[in-house]
């Protein structure tokens, strides 16, 4: 089963309209008092903003970040004093930040953020305004998320801490740009769905275990077969829910038998005592009557009766009628007996007497018949009672003990079937009736009790089973689901990781490329960068080797290398095409770099500046020096802070031109007295010459392959102008004596200018200052050129 709806593709891969930063103006914020502008050019290129710590340069970096984000990561989580010092000491009432932003396709916008006097840091008003339109709140720009994801502000401290914060934090920081949120969301949903089912399965299993335990206990304690069965079925590896259902409803055949037996037994009806009593009485009466009858010879009487009856009938038919016919009145002479022929008996007298006798005999016979019939009835009634004893189940092992007794009693009882004698039968009945009745009732009672007990024992289990079964059935249905979900999860995870790796690959490549440029002589190499793992195990893998042997990145790298590494990882992120920011603001990347690495950095920044606006803040001149020496195009802005937090921003040219410009500015200004000018101008001129010499020396030696350290040592050793010039002209600090001669060839008044500059730095120059400056420039230019 695949997920029903695949996650939609990430939002447009085309680059969103990009924003460049024009002039940034800061007022009353941190080191900057009166409003000061950093004149940036809104377009690709490298700008270096240079100033000592405390000069106010960081105020511009922080100010730009605060302006755009409404927050400053540097201060987040810092103690209160940090946050309290955000306003400028000399100008605490009005704090305002503004920047010109040039957005491709939209044109220039001005963004401002202002604070009222006394307002908290968080209580600012931010607006953005296009020319000729009304101002909008700053949030109208859809930059809140991109500012976090692409973070165009790279600061030294932040980058260094990135690597310390833990593998998953680093992972998150790099992965946010990959647009994987939706993938992760789907993954989470799949996992959640599966977990829900897992929970249900667990619950059902737990329920089954508990129920089985209980059933087992009950089954063992009460010998209740249903409970035992239940326990067995629940303990089985797979549950047959149909069987369990049957069990819940009444149990299997085996148990049904037992229960039916019990039911039958409980329904046993003993012979009614009244009936027995009646039978006994009837039998007694019958026996008595029969006893009476014993004295009479019933058969003979019966036969005699029949005979007489027939004789009477004969007489009536054949004799009496005949006599009548004869018409003899009177005493007809009795005819002869039809049987024996004896005369004189078979007459009317005899008839009368015999008639009476027949009647009497008939009555007797009738009575006898009656007695016999009732005796037979009594017997059959009694036998019926005997027969009515209920059939008992065949003996089984676990049967009720009273059942055995009943069996015996019935055996006795039934033995009476063979008896025909009423008296004996009555006695038998009397003797055994009570026994049977009692035994039957005992059995019935016991059976009923047993049934009830079993029910009591079983009912709770049955109820629980009844509750558990529907859950189990649902879960059984869902289980099939789980397998599908697991498959989906695994597949989705793989797919997500593949896409993640794919999207991360270009970033990783760039990171490695940048690292290669930065590492220079370091023997630490970065082979690959990858994102690995999910959930709590996510991390960034850095395949670092030291002299070819694999090593743990964070363990082998120096501070400077770690910083370079962080820069390598986050510079690509900040310059992704998806970012709406076409600028990056790098704060003090040079801090712990040695001069060789500074060159690498200069090149990296230069490469980035081909398509992006790169603004770098630095507290010394190392980066500008490298940039100049390598001939990389860059704009250099110098920031200095004077009294009352007045910050000056000046575009710096190369040092030679810079010093000469200063000299000329001194000449021009009205703010210095003439004698002061005479003291100061030569000093600047000397600076210019020194700069020219140093430039020449460095360029020559570095091109020849000297190390930065050796070079720096050399220049630290020779500070004075003469040795410097010797080095510049002859590459030999010893040839100081030849300097002036050479200078003569290089430029007009070369030696004079040289000497004047050298001396004038210490004392007042009483010549033509303008001329000095002019001549210095020519000499410096000649020195610079002369060695190309």
Partner 1 sequence: MPPDTPARRLLAEVDELLGHASRGTAGLWPRAAALLTRQALEVALATYWSKAAPGVEGCSRKAQLLCLGRYLGDEAVAQRAHVVWSAPSHACHHHVYDLAPTREELQAWRDAVGEVVARTERAWG
Q: In whole angstroms, how close is the CB of 650 to partner 1 at the nearest point?
A: 4
Q: In whole angstroms, how close is the CB of 559 to partner 1 at the nearest point?
A: 19
Please say whether the beta carbons of 770 and 763 come within 8 A.
Answer: no
Residues 316-355 that bind partner 1 (CB under 8 A): none
Q: How many CA atoms lie within 13 A of 547 on its CB side?
A: 0
Q: In whole angstroms, how close is the CB of 770 to partner 1 at the nearest point?
A: 16
Q: Under the criterion CB under 8 A, does residue 596 sit at the interface with partner 1?
A: no
Q: Under the criterion CB under 8 A, does residue 654 sit at the interface with partner 1?
A: no
Q: In whole angstroms, how close is the CB of 134 to partner 1 at the nearest point?
A: 36
State how far the Cα of 29 lies from the Cα of 110, in Å rounded to an integer: 18
Q: Specify the stretch interacting with partner 1 by CB under 8 A; choose among 2-10, 227-235, 344-352, 761-769.
A: 761-769
Q: Under the criterion CB under 8 A, does residue 691 sit at the interface with partner 1?
A: yes
Among 253, 274, 671, 717, binds partner 1 (CB under 8 A): 671
Q: Under the criterion CB under 8 A, does residue 640 sit at the interface with partner 1?
A: yes
Q: Under the criterion CB under 8 A, does residue 432 sit at the interface with partner 1?
A: no
Q: Under the criterion CB under 8 A, does residue 770 sit at the interface with partner 1?
A: no
Phi and psi at 13, nearest 5°, equal -80, -10
Q: What is the DSSP string of 342-385?
A: -TT-BSHHHHHHHHHHHHHHHHHHHHHHHHHHHHHHHHHHHHHH
Q: Specify the stretch interacting with partner 1 by CB under 8 A; choose among 35-43, 60-68, 223-231, 676-684.
A: 676-684
Please, which residues bridge with residue 620 across strands? none
Q: In whole angstroms, how close is the CB of 666 to partner 1 at the nearest point?
A: 6
Q: Under the criterion CB under 8 A, does residue 701 sit at the interface with partner 1?
A: no
Among 676, 713, 734, 741, binds partner 1 (CB under 8 A): 676
Q: Under the criterion CB under 8 A, does residue 679 sit at the interface with partner 1?
A: yes
> Which DSSP symbol is given to 242?
H
Closer to partner 1 at the Cβ: 379 or 685?
685
Mention every residue, 6+ apart, whose C-beta is less than 8 A from residue 74.
62, 155, 157, 158
Q: Which two tokens stand for residue 506?
A: 């270009």
Q: Under the criterion CB under 8 A, does residue 684 sit at the interface with partner 1?
A: yes
Residues 11-50 that bind partner 1 (CB under 8 A): 50
Q: Where are the alpha helices (DSSP H) in 240-297?
A: 241-249, 253-266, 273-294
Q: Under the criterion CB under 8 A, does residue 683 sit at the interface with partner 1?
A: yes
Closer to partner 1 at the Cβ: 573 or 641?
641
Strands 19-27 and 36-38 turn out to be antiparallel
Q: In whole angstroms, how close is the CB of 76 to partner 1 at the nearest point?
A: 28
**H-helix or E-strand containing 25?**
strand 19-27
Mention every residue, 6+ apart, whose C-beta is less than 8 A from residue 236.
none
Q: Under the criterion CB under 8 A, does residue 655 sit at the interface with partner 1?
A: yes
Q: Under the criterion CB under 8 A, does residue 638 sit at the interface with partner 1?
A: yes
Q: Specify the stretch interacting with partner 1 by CB under 8 A; choose among 414-422, 425-433, 621-629, 777-785.
A: 621-629
State how far the Cα of 550 lies from the Cα of 526, in Å rounded to an integer: 10
Please say whether the beta carbons of 663 and 776 come within 8 A.
Answer: yes
What would you measure as the largest C-alpha separation in the chain, in angstroms?
223
Closer to partner 1 at the Cβ: 537 or 642?
642
Q: In whole angstroms, how close is the CB of 699 to partner 1 at the nearest point?
A: 12
Q: How many CA atoms lie within 13 A of 632 on its CB side?
A: 24
Q: Under the criterion CB under 8 A, does residue 240 sit at the interface with partner 1?
A: no
Closer to partner 1 at the Cβ: 263 or 668?
668
Closest CA to 708 of 720, 718, 699: 699
Please say whether the beta carbons of 109 and 130 come within 8 A.
Answer: yes
677 Cα distance to chain centroid = 76
Q: Specify the stretch interacting with partner 1 by CB under 8 A; choose among 409-417, 467-475, 574-582, 672-680.
A: 672-680
State how far the Cα of 91 lies from the Cα of 582, in Å rounded to an integer: 33
Among 217, 292, 762, 785, binds partner 1 (CB under 8 A): 762
Q: Specify the stretch interacting with partner 1 by CB under 8 A; choose among 161-169, 186-194, 580-588, 642-650.
A: 642-650
Q: In whole angstroms, how close is the CB of 537 to partner 1 at the nearest point?
A: 45
Closest CA to 617 of 648, 641, 586: 586
- In angstroms and rounded to an integer, the radius of gyration of the C-alpha atoms of the chain is 64
Strands 539-546 and 524-532 turn out to be antiparallel
Indicate the SS3 state at residue 407: helix
Q: Specify the stretch interacting with partner 1 by CB under 8 A; choose among 88-96, 361-369, 417-425, 661-669.
A: 661-669
State how far the Cα of 247 lies from the Cα of 230, in Å rounded to an integer: 7
Residue count at the site for partner 1 (CB under 8 A)?
A: 47
Q: Specify the stretch interacting with partner 1 by CB under 8 A; choose among 395-403, 559-567, 691-699, 775-783.
A: 691-699
Please, which residues bridge with residue 581 across strands? 19
Q: Under the criterion CB under 8 A, does residue 707 sit at the interface with partner 1?
A: no
Mention every residue, 6+ apart, whose C-beta is less than 8 A from residue 629.
695, 698, 699, 702
Q: In whole angstroms, how close is the CB of 39 to partner 1 at the nearest point?
A: 14
Q: What is the DSSP string of 564-602?
A: HHHHHHHHHHHT-TT-SB-EEEEE-TTTT--HHHHHHHH
Among 621, 654, 738, 752, binds partner 1 (CB under 8 A): 621
Q: Under the criterion CB under 8 A, does residue 763 sit at the interface with partner 1?
A: yes
Q: In whole angstroms, how close is the CB of 694 to partner 1 at the nearest point?
A: 6
* Footprint on this chain of partner 1 (rule: CB under 8 A): 50-52, 54-55, 619-622, 625, 638, 640-644, 646, 648, 650, 655, 659, 662, 665-666, 668-673, 676, 679-680, 683-684, 686-687, 690-691, 694, 698, 712, 715, 719, 761-763
């Amino acid at each position: 089963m695949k997920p029903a709806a695949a996650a939609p593709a990430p939002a447009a891969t085309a680059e969103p309209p990009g924003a460049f930063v024009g002039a940034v103006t800061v007022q009353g914020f941190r080191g900057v008092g009166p409003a000061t502008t950093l004149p940036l050019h809104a377009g690709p290129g490298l700008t270096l903003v240079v100033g000592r710590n405390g000069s106010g340069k960081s105020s511009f970096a922080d100010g730009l970040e605060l302006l755009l984000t409404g927050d400053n990561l540097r201060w987040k989580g810092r103690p209160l004093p940090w946050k309290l010092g955000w306003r400028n000491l000399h100008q605490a009432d009005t704090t305002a930040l503004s920047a010109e932003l040039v957005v491709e396709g939209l044109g220039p916008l001005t963004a401002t953020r202002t604070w009222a006097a006394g307002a908290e840091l968080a209580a600012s008003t931010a607006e953005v305004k296009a020319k000729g339109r009304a101002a909008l709140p700053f949030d109208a720009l859809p930059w809140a998320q991109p500012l976090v994801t692409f973070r165009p502000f790279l600061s030294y401290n932040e980058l260094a801490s990135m690597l310390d914060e833990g593998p998953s934090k680093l992972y998150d920081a790099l992965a946010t740009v990959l647009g994987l949120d939706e993938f992760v969301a789907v993954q989470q949903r799949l996992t959640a769905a599966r977990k829900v089912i897992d929970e249900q399965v667990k619950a059902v299993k737990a329920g089954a275990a508990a129920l089985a335990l209980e059933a087992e206990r009950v089954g063992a304690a009460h010998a209740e077969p249903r409970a035992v069965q239940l326990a067995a079925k629940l303990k089985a590896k797979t549950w047959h829910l149909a069987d369990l259902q049957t069990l819940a409803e009444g149990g299997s055949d085996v148990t049904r038998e037992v229960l039916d037996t019990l039911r039958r037994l409980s329904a046993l009806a003993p012979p009614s005592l009244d009936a027995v009593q009646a039978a006994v009485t009837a039998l007694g009466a019958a026996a008595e009557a029969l006893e009476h009858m014993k004295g009479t010879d019933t058969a003979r009487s019966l036969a005699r009766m029949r005979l007489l009856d027939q004789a009477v009938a004969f007489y009536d038919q054949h004799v009496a009628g005949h006599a009548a016919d004869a018409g003899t009145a009177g005493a007809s002479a009795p005819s002869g007996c039809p049987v024996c022929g004896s005369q004189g008996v078979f007459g009317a007298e005899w008839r009368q007497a015999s008639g009476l006798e027949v009647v009497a005999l008939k009555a007797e016979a009738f009575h006898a018949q009656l007695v016999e019939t009732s005796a037979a009835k009594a017997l059959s009634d009694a036998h019926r009672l005997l027969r009515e004893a209920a059939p008992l189940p065949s003996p089984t092992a676990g049967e009720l003990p009273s059942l055995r007794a009943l069996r015996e009693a019935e055996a006795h009882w039934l033995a009476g079937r063979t008896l025909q004698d009423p008296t004996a039968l009555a006695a038998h009945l009397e003797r055994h009736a009570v026994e049977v009745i009692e035994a039957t009732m005992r059995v019935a009672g016991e059976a009923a009790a047993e049934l009830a007990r079993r029910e009591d024992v079983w009912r709770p289990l049955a109820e629980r089973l009844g509750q558990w079964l529907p859950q189990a059935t649902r879960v059984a249905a869902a289980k099939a689901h789980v397998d599908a979900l697991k498959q989906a999860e695994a597949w989705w995870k793989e797919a997500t990781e593949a896409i993640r790796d794919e999207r991360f690959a270009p970033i990783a490549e760039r990171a490695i490329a940048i690292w290669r440029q930065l590492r220079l002589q370091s023997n630490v190499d970065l082979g690959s960068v990858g994102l690995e793992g999910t959930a709590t195990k996510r991390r960034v893998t850095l395949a670092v080797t030291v002299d070819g042997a694999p090593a743990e990145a964070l363990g082998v790298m120096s501070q400077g290398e770690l910083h370079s590494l962080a820069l390598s990882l986050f510079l690509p992120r900040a310059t992704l095409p998806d970012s709406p920011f076409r600028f990056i603001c790098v704060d003090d990347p040079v801090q712990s770099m040695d001069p060789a690495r500074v060159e690498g950095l200069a090149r990296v920044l230069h490469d980035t500046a081909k398509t992006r606006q790169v603004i770098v803040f630095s507290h010394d001149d190392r980066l500008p020096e490298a940039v100049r020496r390598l001939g990389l195009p860059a704009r250099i802005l110098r920031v200095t802070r004077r009294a009352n937090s007045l910050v000056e921003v000046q575009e710096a040219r190369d040092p030679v031109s810079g010093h000469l410009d200063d000299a000329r500015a001194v000449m021009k200004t009205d703010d210095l007295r003439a004698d002061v000018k005479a003291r100061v101008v030569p000093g600047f001129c000397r600076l210019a010459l020194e700069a020219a010499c140093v430039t020449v020396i460095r360029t020559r030696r570095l091109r020849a392959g000297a190390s930065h350290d050796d070079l720096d040592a050399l220049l630290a050793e020779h500070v004075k102008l003469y040795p410097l010039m010797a080095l510049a002209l002859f590459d030999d600090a010893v040839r100081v004596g030849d300097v002036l001669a050479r200078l003569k060839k290089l430029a007009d008044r070369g030696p004079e200018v040289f000497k004047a500059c050298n001396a004038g730095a210490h004392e007042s120059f009483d010549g033509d200052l303008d001329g000095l400056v002019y001549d210095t420039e020519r000499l410096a230019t000649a020195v610079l050129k002369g060695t190309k």
